[in-house]
Chains A and B, each alone.
Chain A
């Protein structure tokens, strides 16, 4: 069974641009959560989607948004990029909301 797949693995953007990250969950998993990981802040929860609906949201500005499709694949979008958005963005999937989460390898975003 394939694991959680995140694309792309690496991204370089400049300030003010926007970016879209993609996550394909483990087959059969319907919940997808997104996290931002930085050396100073650790893993910070962004949001969780289950059955195409946002269930939980972390404390991030509105520039960070996401969505989930009917096949459970999820995308995360960051608009008007700032230097501080440089981080490893991790996606985790679970069978249902509240179940154990399995992580993808992440997308490393660098904002110049």
Chain B
């Protein structure tokens, strides 16, 4: 199946710092999604992106749909302890029966 390369795999940051993570693929995607998963729970949708170059914010979170349509970025500003969790990107590939493919996740730890 399709591989989405998500980096970094894990991050340890101080509270108040900004965070950046990204997702890349060798294929062109027509939709990018970002999810956050808390321990013992299912992923929760954070941001959805539908057009190349699109920049969308949700509070302190900002995500961008890469111009090449092969990548996406998620930034978190002024991190707080409740930002801890695993962040997943997901991409929908053109012409694949609408299936979503998921990245391997970025584990974020925020140190108070």
Binding site for B on A (CB under 8 A): 4, 6, 33, 35, 42-43, 45, 48, 55-56, 58-59, 90, 92, 97-98, 100-106, 108
Binding site for A on B (CB under 8 A): 1, 33, 35, 40-45, 48, 88, 90, 92, 97-105
Q: 30 A-B contacts, Cβ less than 8 Å apart?
A: A4-B42, A33-B100, A35-B102, A42-B88, A42-B103, A42-B104, A42-B105, A43-B43, A43-B102, A45-B1, A45-B99, A45-B101, A45-B102, A55-B97, A56-B99, A58-B1, A59-B1, A90-B42, A90-B43, A97-B97, A98-B92, A100-B33, A100-B48, A101-B45, A101-B90, A101-B100, A103-B35, A105-B41, A105-B42, A106-B42
Please measure, in the bound complex, the distance between the C-alpha atom of A108 and the C-alpha atom of B100, giving whole angstroms: 22
> Nearest Cβ distance between residue B48 and chain A, in whole angstroms?
6
Please measure, in the bound complex, the distance between the C-alpha atom of A97 and the C-alpha atom of B35, giving whole angstroms: 19
**A103 touching B44 by the CB < 8 A rule?**
yes
**A104 touching B42 by the CB < 8 A rule?**
yes
